[in-house]
Structure 1
C-alpha cells in the first residue's frame, strides 16, 4: 500500500461507463487508473456506472469497487438517486461530466469535484444533428456551468481548462491533472516504413475516415501503404463501408478491441499514428503510441493534442485534411526524421505516470474533503 498525505476517506466516481463497456475509451481509462492509485493509497474507492451486456452488477477490480446500475441514460437517474440517499455518507463524490452531468450538485453542497475531459460542442452536432444536439450543447454550455459554478473542477489539459473558462467556470476552481500512462516496455516489433495506424473508439467524431483518405491519396506513390485500425465502437459498420467506398478496403485492417500487448505490437509496427479526431481533452492514444516510439499526427484544432503532441519533436500538428495527407507522406519518406521523433516520443512518454496524475487528483480531493456534508 502506498503512503498518502490524505487520511483515508471514501471516494465515489460517478461515470457513464467503465473500461469493460463496449464503448469505453480514454475517459474510462483515466477514471479507473486514478481510482486504482487512490485505492492503493488506502482510500475506499468506488466507481458507479452503467451496466452493459454480460457485466456484473458489482465487482472489485484492482482494489476498486465497480457498481453498475442503469443503462445508457438511466444511469444518470440511478446515480442521482444514490447521491440523494446513501451517497450522502460518502466523503467525496467525483462527478465525471462527459457532456452530461450527473447533477450530484443537487445532492451535495460540499465534498464534490467535477471531472471534465473536454467540452463537446462539435460532438453534440455530429452525433445528434438537430434539436437533440442543440439541447445537449445547451445543457453542457449553459445549465451545467450554472449549476456547478462553485464546484472545484479537474480537467486533463490547459486547452480544456481554457474551454471551461470560456463557458464561465471560475479559473481559480480548475486544476489540471494530465493523463498518465502505465509503464510498459517497448514491444519487440520493428516499424514498417509504410504502415500507419489509428488508435481510437470507432465513433463519428474520431473522423477515422480521414485516415482512409490519406491511404487513398498516397497509394500510388506508396504502393505498399497499409492502415491498422485499432479499437471498436458503434460506428464500425459505417467505417467498413467508408473504406470500401474509398477503394482502400484491401489496405485497411480492422483489428477491433485488442489486448494492451497486441495494441503495443501494432503501434510499434507503425511508422506513424494518425489521430484525426475533432476534439480531444488530451489524447491518451498519442502517449500510448509515443511509448512505443511511434510519432503521431493530429489536428491542431482538436485542442488537447497540442499538449500531448510536441510539434516537430514527437509528432506533427496539422490544420486540414490536405495537410494531414502531406504530413503523413513527409514522415513516411523521412526515415531519419521519423527515427528522431521516435526517440523523443519515447522519452517524453516516460514523464507521464498515473501515480503523478492521482497525486494531483488527491490534492484536489483534500481541498474538498473537509467540506463534506
Structure 2
C-alpha cells in the first residue's frame, strides 16, 4: 500500500512534527511505501537528533523554498504539495493533520484513495460558522495572539484557512482521530461525533526509566521544558509562583530548558531573566537556552518535580517525556496534558492559580511518600504510549479501515 503523509511545517521539534514523523515511521514499519509532503524544505536529518526518527529514507515533496516565519499561514496552504503529488503517486491512503483539505478531498473520487485526519486542535472552535466561542476566550490563543499585531496575524490566517475548510471531517474521511480526550470533546461539540482518541507516542529516543533515581538522591529542583515563548507562561511562574514557593522551600531552584530559535523567543528569554530579578528570585532560577539533549536528561533525572504552565495545551510532549523519567508532574487543569497525561488528577497534580500550584509543588518537594506514589503513576501511564505501542494500535486501526 502507498501512503502519503502530509504536514504543514516540519522544520521544528514540536508535538505536531513528532506525530507526523511517528505516523510515517509506523506506516513504514507496517510494510507500506511512504512519501511525505511539506509546504517548505526542512531538515529531514534533524529528526534523528530531535526524536530518534530516521526520515531520510522517505521521499519528500515540498515547495522549493525554506521559511522560518508565517508558519500558521502555511497551514492554509498545506494542501498545495499534496494536490501536486497525488496524481503522480496515486496513493492508497493519505494521512492529514490539518483541516484545510477541501482541494485534497475533491481528488478522492477521481483517484480512489482513503483519508485519515488527525486533529491536534479544532480551529473551527474559535472561527467560522461552527465556532462555539471567540478565540480570545481560549487562554492558549489569547496568551499568544492577544496583542497587536499578533491578533491581526492570527485572524488573517484563520480567514484564509476557512477558504479551504473541508467541512465536517466525519463526512469526508474514513477515519478521524484526536490527540486527547480534551480535543475530542471539542470536536464533538462542533461536529456532533466523537473522534477516536490516539495519543501521540513518546519519541523513540525517550526511554522509560526502569529504576528512576529515588527521592532521596534528587535535589529540590522544579524543571520546565519547552521553547521560550509567551504561551509557555514562564513569566507567570517566575513572577507569581516562585516568590511564593521560596517561602515554603527556601532552597528550591527552578530550571527552565528551552529553545530560542527566533527573535521573539530570544526576547522572551531576556524578559524572563529580567522578571526573575524584579521578583527577587534570580538566585533561585536557572534558564538554559538551546541546551543539548543530555543537559535536559540530567535535569529531569535530578529534579523532583516537572511543572507545566501552559493553559489548554493540546497535548504536552515535554510532560510525557518527564513522566518517562519517573518525574511527578504538576499541570494546569486544562487541555490534553490534564485530561490524558495527568488523567484529571489520577496520575498527576493539577492547579488553577499560583497558590494551588505552590501547594502541589511543595508537597512533592517535601513528602517522599507522595513523591514515590506519583512517580510510579507517571511511569505506569507512559508505558501505554511508547512508540511500539503506537505502531501496534495504528496497525489494528488501518487493518479495520481497509
* Cα-to-partner distance string for 1:286-306 (whole Å, 9 max, x where unaligned): 221111110111111224422
* Cα-to-partner distance string for 1:54-99 (whole Å, 9 max, x where unaligned): 6689x992565162634336755775333323313122111112x7
1:92 aligns with 2:93: yes
**1:3 — aligned with what?**
none
Mean Cα displacement is larger for which, 182-191 or 80-89? 182-191
Structure 1 residue 308 displacement after superposition:
0.6
Calculate the TM-score normalised by the size of structure 1.
Answer: 0.81
Q: Which of these residues, 233, 247, 252, is aligned with residue 225 of structure 1?
A: 252
1:244 partner SS: helix
1:69 aligns with 2:28: no
Q: Is the CA contact (8 Å cut-off) linking 1:283 and 1:305 kept in structure 2?
A: no
Structure 2: gaps of 5 or more residues:
124-134
1:341 aligns with 2:374: yes
1:11 aligns with 2:7: no
**2:130 — aligned with what?**
none
1:208 aligns with 2:234: yes
**1:4 — aligned with what?**
none
* Cα-to-partner distance string for 1:315-342 (whole Å, 9 max, x where unaligned): 2011223321222122222222112211
1:168 aligns with 2:191: yes
User: Could you tell me how far apart the structure 2 residues matched to 1:176 and 1:49 are?
Assistant: 25
User: Could you tell me how far apart the structure 1 residues matched to 2:331 and 2:385 are?
Assistant: 19
User: Could you tell me how far apart the structure 2 residues matched to 1:67 and 1:217 are?
Assistant: 50
Q: Is the CA contact (8 Å cut-off) linking 2:329 and 2:348 kept in structure 1?
A: yes
User: Could you tell me how far apart the structure 2 residues matched to 1:295 and 1:307 are?
Assistant: 15
Calculate the TM-score normalised by the size of structure 2.
Answer: 0.75
Structure 1 residue 164 displacement after superposition:
0.8
Change (3 A) 1:55 1:360: closer
**2:308 — aligned with what?**
275
User: Could you tell me how far apart the structure 2 residues matched to 1:146 and 1:202 are?
Assistant: 34
Give me the CA root mean square deviation. Answer: 3.4
Q: Is the CA contact (8 Å cut-off) linking 1:145 and 1:167 kept in structure 2?
A: no
1:85 partner SS: helix
1:31 partner SS: helix
User: Could you tell me how far apart the structure 2 residues matched to 1:196 and 1:351 are?
Assistant: 25
Specify which structure has the bigger relative contact order, considering alpha-carbon pairs within 8 angstroms and separated by 6 or more residues: 1
Mean Cα displacement is larger for which, 157-166 or 144-153? 144-153
Q: Is the CA contact (8 Å cut-off) linking 1:96 and 1:114 kept in structure 2?
A: yes
**1:240 — aligned with what?**
270
Structure 1 residue 285 displacement after superposition:
2.1
Q: Is the CA contact (8 Å cut-off) linking 2:75 and 2:161 kept in structure 1?
A: no
